[in-house]
A and B are shown apart, each in its own frame.
Chain A
């Protein structure tokens, strides 16, 4: 049960941060939609060069797929490792938080 309490505690902290950074991003979108900056002015400026490529996409994608495969192989031979799988859901929430933080930092840098 210790791992449950640990996971629940971490999950609670992640949930609070998640909601805060998600709320900030939501307010940004809502403000821009209300201001109309999400409509014509932005669209007129649409430019193919704005589309950012993903550096090292092939190896990153391969590594992700291979990692998921290896994790499931390990899970076939170790029961203790199942806790890693169970806890990995918290990683999804943490990753989204990181994405929000990177987005907010980038927006702040563009404003300054």
Chain B
């Protein structure tokens, strides 16, 4: 096959593709704004999200801009074995949330956040604050990673500078997200899922046709005689597959964007929404992964991709195949909207944590108007922090992977908190600390190849063992039914006590009478 000739598109088109979706999404947000008058509705959409918005918004929140490009990158680097290790655990991570979501929604029907559940479950400041810190860190990580994806596609195809991309992107998302909260996020995410599904199919079908057809591309890849068509390449599993699979499962558990939807989707639609979202997420990376094979068939070298690495293979192929501008624009829109939807989902997640776990908890007497203002303002602060970190030029991708690595220490303690009545607050905190203490050194000392894998295995094993052993030493059983007491925290604010300290120390042997505030 002939060499690909990279053709840079005009920067004007690039800016149009950044601002265009922003304007459309802003109009939608303004349509939502008038109906959302309370903080409760702002952060939880009145618990009215149905099956359709449930499925679509979950898919969009999970399909990060980097994921759109990473599926192509995995195919380019590892072939079908890379796609298997990248795609199969990705969908499973959402599906596996079903039992978590159903259990928590059944036991605590009027909740808002995971940190709120941990506080009600253990009546312990340390555990809830630690959870809150991890959740906020993970949400900021989502924003940063998606900004990285935006920079990758807009810089590669249109030559825009990273600073202009980050500033434009973060301002556009924050402006439209500000109005309407979770409802806006659900609606914009649903539009994004349409683009991800139909857009990815249309773009990939055109790219395959332009490359001479799927059979020709397949034969070219096969003729190279490497491991790209070996689905069981063991090197892939050892290099990134296992660590990625474990990390993905944690990403969902430690992501408030998902927990927020657990309490926002109507009860009858909750379980099937998560199941369908996991199932119908699969086609998107499967389709987009094929762009990586087109790059392999054309013999694109890592040097041609430059400092952006294998992640740039999708944009590189799209900009080099001689595709019409509307196909290039459609691909860019898929990535841009994936970025926007993931970021507005994260910003919406931040608002729920700030409203419920910070302002309502520590200043329960603030007026509804002030609470809503602070809640909305927290979006701007979070966006400014994440954008600021990215603009400092530090290795924020490493920062984010580090945050997610340590966030994995929540996986087992949170799971046990939900499903095991003997789990205690002390066991929770000890489990998190043990995971960090064991996994961190393993990750840092075993090098980049084996460090992440053995680090995460050590972290999970240590947090599991310590959580269980410490909890068993205390002879207490938690009454999950007590979580159902009371109404939603943001709805009972007028009746909240003036004492801002809601964490009395429970005696060891009492059955913890938990509720929400």
Binding site for B on A (CB under 8 A): 1, 3-4, 7-8, 11, 14-15, 18-19, 21-22, 25-26, 28-34, 37-40, 42-44, 46-48, 50-54, 57, 60-61, 64-65, 67-69, 71-73, 75-80, 82-83, 85-93, 95-97, 99-100, 102-104, 106-107
Contact = CB atoms under 8 A, between A and B. Distances in A.
Contacts of B270: 51-52
Interface string B18-49: 00000000000001101110101100011111
A1 B325 CA distance: 17
Contacts of A87: 201, 205, 287
B215 interface: yes
A97 B41 CA distance: 25
Given A29-B49, A47-B109, A72-B231, 4 more contacts: A3-B205, A22-B56, A71-B286, A107-B50
A103 B201 contact: no
Contacts of A47: 109
A101 B260 CA distance: 24
A72 B193 contact: no
B177 interface: no
B278 interface: yes
Contact of A93 (B36, B45, B194, B279): B194
Interface of B: 31-32, 34-36, 38, 40-41, 45-56, 59, 79-80, 83-84, 87-88, 91-92, 95-96, 98-99, 102, 105-107, 109-110, 183, 187, 190-191, 193-194, 196-202, 204-206, 208-209, 213-219, 229-231, 267-273, 275-276, 278-284, 286-287, 289-290, 293, 484, 487-488, 491
A95 B280 contact: yes
Contacts of A42: 46-48
7 contacts: A46-B110, A68-B282, A69-B88, A79-B219, A82-B214, A83-B205, A103-B50
B271 A57 contact: yes
A72 B84 contact: yes
A90 B286 contact: no
A61 B98 contact: yes
A33 B35 contact: yes
Contact of A39 (B38, B54, B287): B38
A3 B209 contact: yes
Given A4-B202, A57-B275, A80 B215 contact: yes
Contact of B48 (A8, A32, A93, A97): A32
A7 B110 CA distance: 43
A52 B269 contact: yes
B55 A79 contact: no
B183 A29 contact: yes
B485 to A, nearest CB: 12
Given A28-B50, A52-B271, A93 B32 contact: no
B154 to A, nearest CB: 22
Contacts of B280: 91-92, 95-96
B92 A14 contact: no
A8 B193 CA distance: 16
A75 B80 contact: yes
A86 to B, nearest CB: 4
Contact of B106 (A40, A51, A72): A51
Contacts of A26: 53, 187
A109 to B, nearest CB: 12
A75 B491 CA distance: 52
Contacts of A104: 52
A89 B98 contact: no
B284 A89 contact: yes
B43 to A, nearest CB: 12
B287 A86 contact: yes
Given A64-B95, A92-B280, A79 B218 contact: yes
Contact of B267 (A52, A71, A89): A52
Contact of A1 (B34, B209, B229): B209
A9 B400 CA distance: 40
Contacts of A88: 201, 282-283, 286-287
Contacts of B53: 22, 25-26, 29
